[in-house]
Homo-oligomer: A and B are copies of this chain.
């Protein structure tokens, strides 16, 4: 029986989800904890490779133990959490069918990108947001956001180093919610290219600063040229909120 874990983490002190030779990863930390807690070999496959410094509330990973677990499934999160460091937590564990695949079966993902837009920084949200002291034009950003919705070739919003076969992706929604000085971009799509959300966020910031006009977004998408889009925003503003399987 396979188990689907829902995982939250503060990515500040990690080199990302994926195991690396020179850094402590979320996946590696989770595997070490599972090895200490479970009494059998297991496989673990993550649903999304979050980068160094990126956070998650709803990362998923597929755990396949070689034997039936002695710990009841509803107790598993608590048992693992008591052994995990405080910046990683299991939020849920559920049984999934034998033919389940955490990557191929994902229907869509939602990311949040937070921008703190006040004159002076706020240390309590600093680790989870990008700080932009210059006043951003929210209405222009919201107008620009709608041009990303739909199926497009997002080659202009993809960093070098990605391994995707195609750069066509479908965005189902992209909303910008303002709460005082905190702007939150929430984007849901059927998949995201390497650094895609952070480059979209950087492009929207350029719109907010008046460097790019909202109506220029379709042209930027059409060029398929990375250099036409905005800069890649810092990892710490990005949180993987949810992965949907149905």
* A128 adjacent to chain B (CB < 8 Å): yes
Q: How far is the CB of A53 from chain B (nearest CB, A)?
A: 13
- Is A10 in contact with chain B by the CB < 8 A criterion? yes
User: Does A86 belong to the interface (CB within 8 Å)?
Assistant: yes
Nearest Cβ in chain B — how far from A56, in angstroms?
9
A89 within 8 A of B: yes
Q: Interface majority SS on A: helix, strand, loop or mixed?
A: mixed
The residues of B that contact A89 with a CB separation of less than 8 Å are 120-123
- Flag whether A91 is at the interface (Cβ < 8 A): yes
Interface string of A64-105 (1 = CB under 8 A from B): 000000000000011001000011111110000000000000
Query: Which residues of chain A (97-141) have a CB below 8 Å from chain B?
Result: 119-124, 126-128, 133
- Among residues 10 to 25 in chain A, which have CB atoms less than 8 Å away from a CB atom of chain B? 10
| Distance in angstroms between the alpha carbons of A91 and B123 in the assembled complex | 10
What residues of chain B lie closer than 8 Å to A10, measured between beta carbons? Answer: 123-124, 126-127
Q: B78, B119, B121, B133: which contacts A120 (Cβ < 8 A)?
A: B78
Q: Is A50 among interface residues, defined by CB-CB distance under 8 A?
A: no
For A123, list chain B residues within 8 Å (CB).
Answer: 8-10, 55, 86-89
**A57 partner residues in chain B, CB cutoff 8 A:** 122, 124
Which of A8, A10, A87, A124 has most chain B Cβ within 10 Å? A124
Contact surface of A with B, Cβ cutoff 8 Å? 8-10, 55, 57, 77-78, 81, 86-92, 119-124, 126-128, 133, 239
12 contacts between A and B (CB under 8 A): A8-B123, A9-B123, A10-B123, A10-B126, A10-B127, A55-B123, A55-B124, A77-B119, A78-B120, A81-B121, A87-B126, A89-B121
**Given pairs A8-B124, A78-B119, 6 additional interface contacts (CB within 8 A):** A8-B122, A77-B120, A81-B120, A86-B121, A87-B123, A124-B128
